[in-house]
Amino acid sequence: MKITKEKAAENREMILTQAARLFRERGLSGVGVDALTEAGFLRRLGQQFHWQNDGYGDFDDFLAALNSRKRKAVKKERREALAPGLEIEILTGADLKPRHWDAFYEFYLATSDRKWGSAYLNRRFFALIGERMPEKIVLIMARHGPDYVAGAFNLLGTETIYGRNWGSYGDYKFLHFECCYYQAIEFAIAHGLKRVEAGAQGPHKIQRGYLPVPTYSAHWIPDSGFRRAVAQFLAREREMVTKKIEHLADNYSPFRHDG
């Protein structure tokens, strides 16, 4: 039976509505992947790069946990990132103003056009999210004199800061690493957060303290034939992803191996 887009949207809305009702009735905040797997969903293993806060007192404390070569490399990158006379601003809550969103949106568009081909967020999105949940936003902006030149958009959870979007005017050496990785680590340490989630792409994150970690998702596929094919693929993919995570962590970790 062919399902129209309208019917698929209706079914999806019904599932989400019923799930929300169940969460409210039973006092749940969510459903774990294991529970969904037991209910017949297919489990998928993925990989992201996360920085973990091991009780660091400050950024220098984190640097001390790295091996000597990586520690020197991070210090050099941070110096050179700000060498052109750039300054960093951390904006959240009431500090976020329309001019900040105007600037960041232009960075976002410029970088999307240059690297990804199209932008999927519009200016109204940033206006609404800044209006409705400003305390959950951390906007890291780089400024040259009075002019903003780059920025990193993050979302803030109870224990985690989530890196989401980056944009810039021009090519500034190491500035992406400073805004997206090092400033996020400093923010996490200062606010007692447990981790920084930097997303799935880029093994270059490892040498900057972001190690590969497994992620999980659950997927419902009603067609039995297609379901079997997907299940077989996911089994092979899980084995490959597990080996990849182990290989990256064992061979490329920047942390000291004392003892």
Tell me the per-residue pLDDT of 10-51, one tens digit each, with 9 for 90 and over.
766 676 566 656 555 655 455 566 767 777 789 999 999 999
Model confidence over 125-155: pLDDT tens digits? Answer: 999 999 999 999 999 999 999 999 999 999 9
Query: Could you write out the DSSP letters of every residue in 24-63?
Result: HHHT-S---HHHHHHTTPEEEEEEEEEEE--S-SSHHHHH
Q: Is the pLDDT of residue 98 over 80?
A: yes
Tokens of 56: 């660091």
Q: How much is the pTM?
A: 0.84
**55-193 classified as CATH 3.40.1410.10:** no
The C-alpha atoms of residue 89 and residue 69 are separated, in whole angstroms, by: 29
Which residue did the predictor score with more confidence, 257 or 17? 257
Q: Are 184 and 13 in contact (CB under 8 A)?
A: no
Say if residues 234 and 54 touch (Cβ distance below 8 Å).
Answer: no
pLDDT of residue 2: 57
- Please give the share of the chain, as a percent, with pLDDT higher than 90: 69
Name the burial class of residue 121, with classes exposed (0-12), middle (13-18) and buried (19+) by CB atoms within 10 angstroms of its CB.
Answer: middle
Average model confidence (pLDDT) across the chain: 88
Query: How confident is residue 257, by pLDDT bands cut at 50, 70 and 90?
Result: confident
Q: Give the pLDDT confidence score for residue 106 in this predicted structure.
A: 92
| CB neighbour list of residue 118: distance below 8 Å, 6 or more residues apart | 112
Q: pLDDT at position 137, please?
A: 97
User: Residue 219 pairs with which residues in a beta bridge?
Assistant: 42
The residue ranges of every structural domain in the chain are: 30-53+199-259, 55-193
Query: Tens digit of pLDDT for each residue in 192-244?
Result: 999 999 988 878 999 999 999 999 988 888 889 999 999 999 999 999 999 99
**What pLDDT does 47 receive?**
94
pLDDT(56) > 80: yes
Residue 62: what pLDDT? 98
